[in-house]
Amino acid sequence: MSFASLGLIEPIVRTLDALAYHTPTAVQEQAIPAILAGNDVMAAAQTGTGKTAGFTLPILQRLVMGGKVGNNAARALILVPTRELAEQVHESVRTYAEGLPLRSMVAYGGVSINPQMMTLRKGVDVLVATPGRLLDLHRQNAVHFNEVKTLVLDEADRMLDLGFARELDNILKLLPKKRQTLLFSATFSDPIRALSNQMLREPVRIEATPRNTTVAAIRQWVIPVDKKRKAALFVHLLERRDWTQVLAFARTRKGVDELVGLLESKGIPVDSIHGDKPQPARLRALDRFKAGEVRVLIATDVAARGIDIDDLPAVINVDLPIVAEDYVHRTGRTGRKGASGEAVSLVCADEVEQLAAIEVLTRQTLERVEEPGYAPEHRVPQTDAKGQIVKKPKKPKKPKGNAPVVSEDVRFRR
């Protein structure tokens, strides 16, 4: 099947040919015709399977066929949870729109709002934004939403969770009721699916891969280790393995900074991304990593959904994520577009419940491999095939005094 056979116009197909995009992925094959037809869509597919192109290409075509935008307006609105993902999606929009008479821009916090307001004066066909900055622009009368024809929630599960619920609700109240709504993500929890029913009108539901699954091409395993030895094990793995680049995740900003300091002391080229860093510094770190200037990029979950790097060999979870769905997004940074990769999680006894939740979500029991010299003193409890914690059987209590030992299997008869 070709992109032309999906109904895309010749200028877009020509751009895709120049990018060496010849065969649609499964999610693109299903989503593009549905969006071109004007349907609402809820699509779930693994990371690295072309979701962004799946919604961007048909949106661009509908915009080309649908007139011009007015001042301080947008015709298509793409909402994303992080600044890094906003930049990534906007870059894709610009790439796919090459040669088309369309204007686009990206808006997020952490940088001056004034240039964004200036760009919006003439209106844009596609606006990629984070919710907070979008509401700021609206309060400044820099953008209005009466011309919005299509709304996209990219990484929709994060858009709809508690962290964005209030902002998203405020945005939805401002949008035209008659619009096309598209929800795309690698993971959709049952509560999110229920909430989406309130937003979508007779949607086309697409599941290009089984729900909440990780990429099959990557090898995933767990190394049990005591919490106090995680940093040392992390350095040991970097020195022992021949990974050309590694994306590592820590739970807190402090944890990220401590790991950066440790790697710098070992002479390992490293940079970081977390919420305390100014946006220009975050983008610079990402650009350095993509350019191969640093071997290791350490991040909090702010980066789990905004990094698209070809042939990234390894992801290391120095700390497991609090939210199980974030494991899918973290590991999805490797093994993209059919490539192979490795995802290693350093797990201490305190994280067994998070490990169990991940295994329940992904419906797999992660392989455990002990690293010689790093066996934990505090045992990480086993989990069964359903991801449930298998509690170690309690030892029978010793009888007091000379009381006889009675088996629990003895039945007392009257």
Question: Which alpha helices (DSSP H) does 40-161 contain, by range?
Answer: 51-64, 83-96, 114-120, 131-139, 156-159
Taking the mean position of all CA atoms in its chain, how far away is CA 155? 6
The pLDDT, as a whole number, for residue 161 is: 60
Give the number of other CB atoms < 10 A from CB of residue 181. Answer: 20
CA 168/CA 149 separation, integer angstroms? 17
| Structure confidence at residue 130 as a pLDDT band (50, 70, 90) | very high
Provide the Cα torsion 91, 96, 100, 104; round to 10°.
-30
- pTM higher than 0.85, yes or no? no
Q: Where are the domains of the chain?
A: 4-207, 218-368
The pLDDT, as a whole number, for residue 385 is: 59
Task: Specify whether domain 218-368 bears CATH 3.30.70.1730.
Answer: no
The pLDDT, as a whole number, for residue 361 is: 82
As a whole number, mean pLDDT of residues 99-120 equals 95
Cβ pair 380, 352 in contact under 8 A? yes
- Strands, DSSP E only, in 130-214? 150-154, 180-185, 204-207
| Residue that is written with structure tokens 């004007």 in the block | 38
The pLDDT, as a whole number, for residue 392 is: 55
Least confident of 192-196, 211-215, 304-308: 211-215
| Structure confidence at residue 412 as a pLDDT band (50, 70, 90) | very low
Cβ pair 301, 17 in contact under 8 A? no
As a whole number, mean pLDDT of residues 29-41 equals 96
CA 364/CA 121 separation, integer angstroms? 51
Cβ pair 286, 307 in contact under 8 A? yes
- What sign results for the dihedral spanned by CA atoms 229, 230, 235, 241? positive
The pLDDT, as a whole number, for residue 409 is: 39
Cβ pair 180, 153 in contact under 8 A? no
Superfamily of domain 4-207: P-loop containing nucleotide triphosphate hydrolases (3.40.50.300)
Query: Is 60 exceeded by the pLDDT of residue 157?
Result: yes
- Strands, DSSP E only, in 208-281? 218-224, 246-249, 270-273
As a whole number, mean pLDDT of residues 275-292 equals 85
- CA-nearest of 15, 85, 7 to 39 is 7
- CA-nearest of 335, 263, 336, 322 to 294 is 263
Cβ pair 332, 280 in contact under 8 A? no
The pLDDT, as a whole number, for residue 6 is: 94
